[in-house]
Every structure is written in C-alpha cells, then in structure tokens.
Amino acid sequence: MKQKTESPDSPKSLDARLRKVYDQLSVTDRRLADVVIANKKDLLAYSATELAGLAGASKASAARFFRRLGYAGFSDFRQQVRAQVSQQSPLARIGRAPARQSESARLQAHVQGDVARLNRLLDDLPEQALEQALALLVQARRVWIVGYRNGCMTAFYASALLSQVRPDVNLLNELSGREAEFLADLPDKDLLLAVDFRRRTSRLPRVVAAARSSGARVLLLTDTPLSALASQAAAVLHCPSQTEQVFDSYVTAVSLLNFLATAMAARAPRQARDRLSRIERLHAALGDLETDS
C-alpha cells in the first residue's frame, strides 16, 4: 500500500507546525526554530547535534524541541522533511488528479482553489506589511527585481507593471551574468524585490545577501510565512501558492502585484500620469500597438 504524503498546506507540515507554536516558544526553542527556518532547504544535511550547535542549544534541548513540534524524535523529523521535499516536484504530484472527473469539474475545482488562495491572501496579509511594501516601492531611488525558476514569471510581471508607474525599475534576470557588477553599486536608497517561491534555488539567497551587503533594502514576495530570507527583508508579502495539483498557482502573486502598481499610481498620481503619458506617446510614435476595432 502506497503511503499517503502530506500536502504543504497540511496541518502536519513543518511550516504549519512551526507557525502553530512559534509565539509560545522559549528563548532556546525559538533559536532552534530560527535555525530550522534559516536552513530549511539544507535540513537533510544536518544532524540534530549540528542544528543544536547552530542554535547554541544542547542536544537534549533539540530533542525536546522536535517532540514539541509533534515529531516522535529527530529521525521522524528528518523522514517527514525528506518526504515533504520529494513531494514538491511536479513529477511526484502528476498522478494525484481525481479519476473519472469531467474536465469542467476539474476546472471548477481549479478555480475554487484559486479563490480560496485569494481569500487566504486577504486573511494572511497584514495592513502594516502592505504599507511598508508600498512605502519601499514608492520611495526607492531604483527598484531591482529578481526571481528564479517558479519565481521568474512573477518577477517579469512585476517589472512590466511597476515600470509603468515609476522610473528606474530593473530586472536582474536580464543581466546575463552581470549581476555582480550591478549589485556592487546598490546604495541604501535602492530596493531589491525578491520573489521567493518553491522550488527554491541556492542562487536567490546569495543575491539577496549581496544586495543587503551593498546597503540595499529588500522587499520579499514569498509563498511561505516562514521564508529563510525573511530576516533580511524590510517587508515581507506572503502570497499563498502551494496546491496539490501538478503545478503551484501564482494567482495571488499576480493579483497582489497588480494591486501594488495601482496603489503606487494612486499615491503618486502626477508622476504616474506623466510617465504613462510619455509611454503612450512613444507607443504612438513607434506604431507598435494595434488599434482596437
């Protein structure tokens, strides 16, 4: 019999377990939780002793911490983390679709899932985070955007949309290996918008760290409230994306970016209007847009 694996949104997933108890943790346990969060993508490479050492805790404290999260022990923790990581692959989820359903029924379930994620966006995104994000986007001298793998499409959309309402919006993905030259010159008035979606790459944390070391501030757009990059961000926007379908859904990220661009235009209407007017005049001069019939 095939063992049933947990959804990333399951109450028993690592993120859900940490969120449930984090505010009630002791100082030592919170350090352990922070170490687990900071090393989520590499957890399988660490022993219990090594994780305890990174947190400045004893091995006994680490054992109690994992039991508090609901695991039988560290071995159980590693086994379930390994299973959860393997289930992030679309290949692992490709056979999960319910059998004997019409395509219209599948589409209905798909749309209902996106509606539920949009509702979660409303529930999980604090007003303060929105205010911080908008202030960062409006006040930055330049905005740099980066996202790899599943975050790439969202990064391109953010660049296309934000560049219409403010100047100096740049997509790091398009620099063809020249990121270091640009990251070296980022001052504290620049902003890096980093898109952190699973399946995560080892490259994004290095780019974020480099931007921070140069002085830039970071706005993090992520699919988990426990992103390992959150500690480096001036503001964090959580966009639920994980599903039990073959591919994750990014409808919440697209909707949120659309809102942010609209809100930016409302906060600086003259700048947005002048910029959009110049863009429209250039479209007319270039003749690159079809006239709607």
* Nearest CA among 241, 33, 280, 65 for reference residue 154: 241
* pLDDT for the residue 7: 43
pLDDT of residue 11: 44
Per-domain residue ranges of the chain: 14-87, 125-286
Q: Is there a contact between 184 and 214 (Cβ–Cβ < 8 Å)?
A: yes
Task: Kindly state the average pLDDT of the residues 46-71.
Answer: 88
* Predicted confidence (pLDDT) at residue 293 exceeds the cutoff of 60: no
Distances (CA, A) of 263 to 101, 196, 253, 260: 41, 22, 15, 5
Residue 243 vs residue 11, higher pLDDT: 243
Confidence of residue 202 (pLDDT cuts 50, 70, 90): confident
Cα 107 from chain centroid (whole Å): 25
> Does pLDDT of 160 surpass 90?
yes
Q: Is 60 exceeded by the pLDDT of residue 5?
A: no
> What pLDDT was estimated at residue 94?
63
Query: In residues, how long is the chain?
Result: 293
Burial of 107 (0-12, 13-18, 19+ CB in 10 A): exposed
Q: Which residue has 């209407």 as its token pair? A: 269
Dig out the tokens for 99 from the structure. 């059998």
| Residue 3: pLDDT over 60 | no
117, 121, 123, 126 alpha-carbon torsion, rounded to 10°: 170
Kindly state the DSSP code that residue 202 receives in the 8-state scheme.
S
Highest-scoring range by mean pLDDT, 26-35, 37-46, 105-114, 163-172: 163-172
CA–CA distance, 238 with 226 (Å, rounded to integer): 9
Between the alpha carbon of residue 209 and those of residues 155, 180, 216, the distances in Å are 18, 12, 10
According to the model, what pLDDT value does residue 96 have?
Answer: 59
Q: Are strands 143-147 and 235-238 parallel, antiparallel or unpaired?
A: unpaired
**Rounded percentage of the chain residues whose pLDDT exceeds 70:** 88
Give the model's pLDDT for residue 85: 60
The residue that leads in pLDDT, 13 or 193, is 193
Residue 181 has pLDDT above 90, yes or no: no
Q: What is the mean pLDDT of the chain?
A: 84
Among 73, 27, 23, residue whose Cα is nearest residue 48? 73
- The DSSP output letter for 2 is P
Look at residue 239 and tell me whether its pLDDT is greater than 50. Answer: yes
**Which ranges in the chain belong to alpha helices (H)?**
14-21, 27-38, 48-55, 59-68, 74-86, 90-93, 103-124, 127-139, 152-162, 179-183, 203-214, 251-267, 269-286
Give 43 or 33, the one with higher predicted confidence.
Answer: 33
Cβ atoms of residues 49 and 58 within 8 Å = no
pLDDT higher than 50, residue 1: no
Instruction: Dump pLDDT digits (tens) for 251-270.
Output: 999 999 999 999 999 998 88
pLDDT at 266: 93
Distance between CA 70 and CA 68 in Å, rounded? 5
Domain 14-87 -> CATH class:
mainly alpha
What are 111's two structure tokens? 């749309």
- CATH architecture classification, 125-286: 3-Layer(aba) Sandwich (3.40)
